[in-house]
Chain A
Amino acid sequence: MKKNVLQKVLVLTMTGAMLAGTLSGCGNGGSDDSSSSSSDTQTATEDNSTDDTAADSSADSTDTAADNADAEADAPAADAAAGIDGWEAFGDNVTLKVAVYDRGVEGVPTVDDNYWTKWVQENFGDKYNITVQYVPITRTDVMTDYALLAAADDLPTILMEYDYPKVAQWANDGYLATYSLDDFAQVAPTYYQRMVDNDQLSYTELAGETYFALALRPYYNTTYTYQNFVRLDWLKQVGYNEVPKTYDEMVDALTKIMEAGLCEHPGSPIVANKMVAVGADTQNYPFRTYPLNEEEWAVYGDYNIVPMNWEPAKKYLQASNDLYNKGITNPEYYITDDETWKADFINGKAFNYSNYISANMDFLTSFYENNPDAELAVVPADAEYGGSYGYRTDNPFGMIIGFSSQATEDQLKAAWMYMEWMTQEENLFTMQWGVEGENYNTENGLPVSVADYEGDCKQGFNNNKDYWCVTIESRNAGTIEEIIAATTPTGLPQDFTQDVIDFYNKRLEISTTDYACTDAIYAVTLDSASEYSGTLASLWTEYYDTLTMCKPEEFDAKYEELSQKYLDAGFQAIIDERTEAYNAGNTTKMK
């Protein structure tokens, strides 16, 4: 009998343990997956002015890098004890942990231990008795990684992200320390002065406390580095000698292209041609009526959470529905990922493909190999497919940097020293370009990166970007024309340099008007936004496809029904909270 009881207890224990195993699995289950549809917002704002130089084989510059950052620096640095000259080595060794993205990219050195991390240690750490450690953060799962580090009391001293809502959530969740800008200016005057000169100080605060420091994002307001390439040869065959700039003309051209048998479902540069990635397809900017009402702009004009109930979003959906029902959009677009769309473009089965430009663009190279007689053009900046040429500028800052609430005073100081040190012209130049004769050569007094360099001092992803992003977002040297020339693909049958320069100039012109929209940033944390953003993002991908693929006559009724559901699922709560924040003066102002 007793034995029987013992046996029962044992078996029960085991079963319980087994189920508990499943349970504990649930705790972090799925955290290693990144579902295909959530290629998420982070990629959206990331890299906008920068992935460009990913593999440059040539670069012109009249001057060394980042001079715009440093020209302003000299004055405050002269201030007696402030800045690098006033630094002394720490008495006791200080450990400084810095977050660095682990992008899972092949062919780059280990992110937390390579030539360049050692270089930083030797040239910065050793000098001031600081041990610099890099903490890898999985690029596709940033929030979970930080949450785990926070739970383990092991947050890096320097935390960074590109998206404001994420860092706001960190502040709200207690990850971040508040700090004094005066102390910061004392330790890192160059960095501080640059924030002042670029009007970034208003972004350092959340709910009246100073939490963040902002890296620089040069040319943020033109977003010229993202270009949409279209088949000009097809357009010419149907009677258009340049890229049509209005919706009706574009639809007419695409319809003729289909009728001429050039392409079955060409797609269009007007709406998404692929699965709508969460947050990455909220391009209602051209569909807005300008000038915007500031309150509407603050409440609805956000990139991260789609304002489905807003009129411009409805117009965008209508356009998408129209293009789908006309057969222009690929009927399989909602199960087509970006790679497939790219392959279709290369194989001459799609009208357009868009991406960041760089000196070496593999999809264009392959495209011309497959279609030697084809001719491409870029969509001009003043195309008005949504009724206007309104567009979204990038954030007026690069990385948003926060400091761990678990850091000691010394660690905080070391972090600021690190940022200031990285901002110094000579250090930044070396981090960005590498070692002369190895990573780059000097031609006519200008640095030119060695393409496909494989050696001991091989740089990390995108020319070490994930290290120097702590101070600046791109490797800019020289005038804008020279930068564009250096980041436009070379060695192709066509040269797009002038097109991109035209695009840039046009955008620069627009950027001073109401048509250039920067999203509102809130100086308070919006609980509703962090609570519902995931749900709404997932609903949006579902509703977007339903409304795109329904019959035109069903559209209005379906839109009414689904947008109401969207409101109920949390968007109404967000509208209310944002309106309240706006009325309390807790948002940035529309420019």
Chain B
Amino acid sequence: MAKSKTSVPAVRTKTTWKNALKRDWQLYLLILVPLVLVFVFSYAAYPGLRMVFMNYKPAKGYAGSEWVGLDIFRKIFKDADFLRALRNSLVFNFLDLIIGTPVPILLALLLNELRYPKFKKLSQTILYLPHFLSWAIIGSVAYQLFKPSSGLINVLIMNMGNEPVPFLTEKWHWAVTYLLIGVWQTMGWGTIMYLAGITSISGELYEAAMIDGAGRWKRMWHITLPGIKPTIITLLIINLGRVMNSNYERLAVFGNSQVKDFQYQLAIYIYEKGLGNSQFSMATAVGLFQSVIGVILVLLADRFAKSIGEEGLI
């Protein structure tokens, strides 16, 4: 190694495993810590996944529980409730994605244009706040506002002589309310990444554009947006991986018997049928299914992003 370095310094040496390690061993050591943590907390649990092929009973353990092959999966896919939960999860998560992605981008663009720093900071803080509220609080406040006959909003609507709106008690209205509250909760927090992306755009570009006579809209359209395009795509790919997941808390607080048709999503299914009935194998099988679909979606999206000439995630 030393020889090649001294004798032919002009030629780029091929990095071998050994000298890469020798050169950057501190860095590898650093990455080792998080890697070990990930292995311990995520991969070490993988052998436990074999319970999806078992009728797992905690007291009997893995050794004592009965192997049932693919029975658990067969049962799940035949279950009408599972299909309903799957449909709802997919529809609502895609809607969440479609509505939830552009809003923070718009908001970030708007915030970026704010001139007066104090006002900008204040607006940002106010926008971030909902992110820190737990769903339990948001849910109970929402009910106080939107109850059909005693909710604040409906009382106002009725006082104006109109029919009350069943925001949370009729499934189609519920769907809209549920999605919009979701957007409201996440939009402020979502701007952080985009704002960070915008900061990294060189100021010279804007100056040059201004000299060329580009107005505010033109600058946004031709500089800011293209500048944060990689961020947008990365976040989109990451979010696609979550399309199968749903937030149990969010669903639980907005649930009531009249909207079950839409509210019944995979998280509820896992909780009620799996854990509620102590069917751990089933709960795990659905969880595994969710994750596998998530991985596939991420890989496909990444492939797609690359095919249209964008930098992917992987």
Contact A22–B252 (Cβ < 8 Å): no
Interface residues of A in 368-421 (CB under 8 A from B): 405
| Chain A-chain B contacts (Cβ-Cβ < 8 Å), number | 156
Are A29 and B57 interface neighbours, CB within 8 A? Answer: no
Say yes or no: A173-B272 contact (C-beta < 8 A), given A27-B287, A530-B277: no
* Residue A451, interface by CB 8 Å: no
- CB 8 Å contact bits of B192-210 with A (1 = contact, 0 = none): 0000000000000000000
> Number of B residues whose C-beta is below 8 Å from A?
62
Q: Interface digits, B40-55 against A, CB 8 Å rule (1 contact, 0 not)?
A: 0111011010000000
* Contact, CB under 8 Å: B147 / A20: no
Give the CA-CA distance A27 to B273 in the complex, in Å.
Answer: 13
Residue numbers in A under 8 Å from B257 (CB-CB)? 37, 276, 334, 541-542, 544-546
Any B CB within 8 A of the CB of A71: no
Task: Select which of A3, A38, A170, A535 is within 8 A of B81 by beta carbon.
Answer: A535
CB nearest to B150 among chain A residues:
A332
A534 contacts B273, CB within 8 Å?
yes
The residue from B58, B169, B249 contacting A148, defined by CB atoms under 8 A apart: B58
With a CB–CB cut-off of 8 A, which chain A residues contact B278? 143-144, 147, 169, 173, 530
CB distance from B52 to the nearest CB of A (A): 11
Out of A275, A535, A546, which one reaches B273, CB within 8 Å?
A535
Interface string of A513-557 (1 = CB under 8 A from B): 000000000000000001111110010011011100100000000
Residue picked from B31, B275, B283, B298, most chain A C-beta under 10 Å: B275
CA distance A21 to B41 in the complex (A): 8
CB distance from A371 to the nearest CB of B (A): 20
What per-residue 1/0 map shows which CB atoms of B270-311 lie under 8 Å from chain A?
111101111110011011101100110010000000000000
**Minimum distance in angstroms from B146 CB to a CB of chain A:** 10
Given the known A-B contacts A405-B59, A535-B277, are A24 and B42 also in contact in the complex, defined by CB atoms under 8 Å? yes
Interface residues on A, range: 35 or more
Q: Which residues of B contact A14 (CB under 8 A)?
A: 38
Question: Per a CB cutoff under 8 Å, which of B20, B57, B150, B314 touches A173?
Answer: B57
> What is the 8 Å Cβ interface bit string for chain A, positions 257-278, against chain B (1 contact, 0 not)?
0000000000000000001100
- What is the interface of chain B mostly: helix, strand, loop, or mixed? helix
User: Is A332 within 8 A of B43, CB to CB?
Assistant: no
Contact A332:B148 (CB < 8 A) given known A33-B271, A545-B258 = yes
Do B288 and A23 touch (CB < 8 A)? yes
B245 to A533, Cβ gap below 8 A? no
Is A36's CB within 8 Å of the partner chain B? yes
Asked whether A180 is an interface residue with its Cβ less than 8 Å from the other chain, the reply is no
Q: Taking A16-B295, A535-B277, A542-B260 as contacts, is the C-beta distance between A27 and B283 under 8 angstroms? A: yes
- State which residues 141-186 of B face A: CB under 8 Å: 143, 147-150, 168-169
A149 and chain B: residue at smallest CB distance: B58
17 inter-chain pairs at a CB distance below 8 angstroms, sorted by A residue, are A2-B17, A11-B314, A12-B314, A17-B38, A17-B42, A19-B295, A20-B291, A24-B42, A30-B270, A30-B275, A33-B271, A144-B275, A173-B59, A276-B257, A530-B278, A534-B273, A535-B81
Chain B contact residues, CB within 8 Å of chain A: 15, 17, 20, 31, 35, 38-39, 41-43, 45-46, 48, 57-61, 64, 81, 143, 147-150, 168-169, 241-242, 245, 248-249, 252-253, 255-258, 260, 267, 270-273, 275-280, 283-284, 286-288, 290-291, 294-295, 298, 313-314
**Which A residues contact B (CB, under 8 angstroms)?**
2-3, 8, 10-24, 26-31, 33, 35-38, 143-144, 147-148, 150-151, 153, 155, 169-170, 173-175, 275-276, 331-332, 334-335, 405, 530-535, 538, 541-542, 544-546, 549, 569
Which 3 pairs, one residue from A and one from B, show the smallest C-beta to C-beta distance? A26-B287, A151-B58, A545-B257
